[in-house]
A and B are shown apart, each in its own frame.
Chain A
Amino acid sequence: MRKEGPMIVTVLSSLIVVFSAHFHLGKQLGIKDALDGWFLISICIALALGFVNLTAIHWKAIQRKREGWIFSVWLMIVMYGYAVLGLIQSHTGTQFNWIYQNIQAALSSAVFSLVAFFISSAAYRAFRIRTKEATVLMIFAVFVMLGRAPIGDAIWGQWSYWVNKIMAVPNMAGMRGILLGASIGAFATALRIMLGLERAHLGGTGTQ
């Protein structure tokens, strides 16, 4: 039952969702609503896995006094301190929210904005005019960037008009093609999982 049991669970749960999506009886019995609840509550509990994993990794770093272990100590203090504060106050508590808005949100947006500097230099290195395809990609990227900023229209009054045209015609067609290709791929993979041909989620060698 180490492999068969989980396989049965996969097939059954996927069949129930499909059944409740397409059959009147499935909708009437409200099985999907219950299954939605099961999914939500079990996934919420599993989210604590990240908490446990971080603790395990950084606890080892502290024990072995690895380079930068002092930051691991700091991480544990921050993580457990903030979690305890949240469990006492709930996520709407005054202090808990103050820390979220003034520290966590500020750090989060600063880290994401940091990517702006690296994405620009990485783009230069990756797409500098080596092939025709890379050239087209770069030209359209720069064209869209300038058209979306006020400087585009300041240079040429028609810039944002043509950017909108690019977004509505070739970009839309290309993106829709990519989306349909990916959706068909996802559908085929889902079918393989339901038929038991794809077993990567059970660990081991993956596909049969």
Chain B
Amino acid sequence: MNLSTNPGIWAQAICILAVYTYLYKDNPIWRFAETTYLGLATAYWFVFYFHNYIVVFVKDNVMQNGEWHYILAIILGLMIFFRYVPSLAWLARYPMSFWVGFGTGYVLGFAPAVWLTQVRTSFIALNSVENVLIVIGILATLTYFFFTIAKENPVVGGIAEVGKWYIMIALGSAFGNTVLYRWNLFLSRANTIIVDWLGVTP
């Protein structure tokens, strides 16, 4: 065992152990770690966006290029804070409406190019068992999601039933991958404690 002398590794080890105390039960050490994380994360993203976007936009686009209309965008963003003034809270709807409208336009204008590619690539030659299974799976899954067709019809109901099993396999695989990813994260943290901090080498 060769205990680390690096203050950064010590800080990491203390943070990791503080978080894992929650496995026993809710306790003050965990609450301390939780609030530290919340405070740091909130401040980090605030600083990150402030320096990377707001300062850059104001410096480059507004001051240098003279694109003064971005000042209106800043005012629009600030309008969300009217939520805290009850008599003027309705003004906060304007930025929200802009964001929703912008996102809506994106979904209508640009997203189809992504999912229509998925449709196009689903038209594959039925020259192997795998390809046949893929096409059957896609059609059956889509049938399962057609809520406007009565599933009492034996043909539609049967196809939707096949779709349901495909969905179960897909969700099971996705779930397995998710669990494994979390365990990988845990192993990586354990590595920090055992190898980097305690200096125990295998």
Q: Using Cβ atoms and an 8 Å threshold, which residues of chain B touch A2?
A: 90, 93
Chain A residue at smallest Cβ distance from B45: A47
Q: Restricting to A37-68, which residues have a CB under 8 Å from any CB of B?
A: 37-52, 54, 56, 68
Most chain A CB neighbours (cut-off 10 Å) among B19, B102, B139, B163: B102
* B180 CB-CB contact with A under 8 Å: yes
Most chain A CB neighbours (cut-off 10 Å) among B44, B95, B165, B180: B44
CA distance A15 to B102 in the complex (A): 9
Q: Mark B164-180, 1 if CB is under 8 A from A, else 0.
A: 11111111111111111
* A123 CB-CB contact with B under 8 Å: yes
Question: In the complex, which of the residues A6, A142, A187 contacts B176, with contact meaning CB atoms closer than 8 Å?
Answer: A142
Q: Using Cβ atoms and an 8 Å threshold, which residues of chain B touch A37?
A: 57, 61, 67, 70, 73
Q: Do the beta carbons of B192 and A106 come within 8 Å of each other?
A: yes
Q: Do the beta carbons of A174 and B78 come within 8 Å of each other?
A: no
In the complex, the number of residue pairs spanning A and B with C-beta atoms less than 8 Å apart equals: 385
Chain B residue at smallest Cβ distance from A11: B101
Chain A residue at smallest Cβ distance from B114: A183
Q: Which applies to chain A's interface (DSSP): helix, strand, loop or mixed? A: helix
Q: Do the beta carbons of B176 and A141 come within 8 Å of each other?
A: yes
* A129 CB-CB contact with B under 8 Å: no
Complex A-B: 27 CB contacts under 8 Å = A13-B102, A20-B109, A41-B73, A50-B45, A51-B43, A54-B39, A74-B39, A77-B39, A91-B51, A103-B11, A103-B15, A107-B40, A108-B37, A111-B37, A113-B183, A114-B19, A115-B182, A117-B23, A136-B169, A141-B172, A145-B179, A165-B130, A177-B141, A180-B118, A190-B107, A201-B93, A202-B93
- Please give me the 7 A-B residue pairs with the lowest Cβ-Cβ distance, nearest first: A177-B141, A17-B105, A173-B137, A174-B170, A45-B77, A86-B47, A140-B172
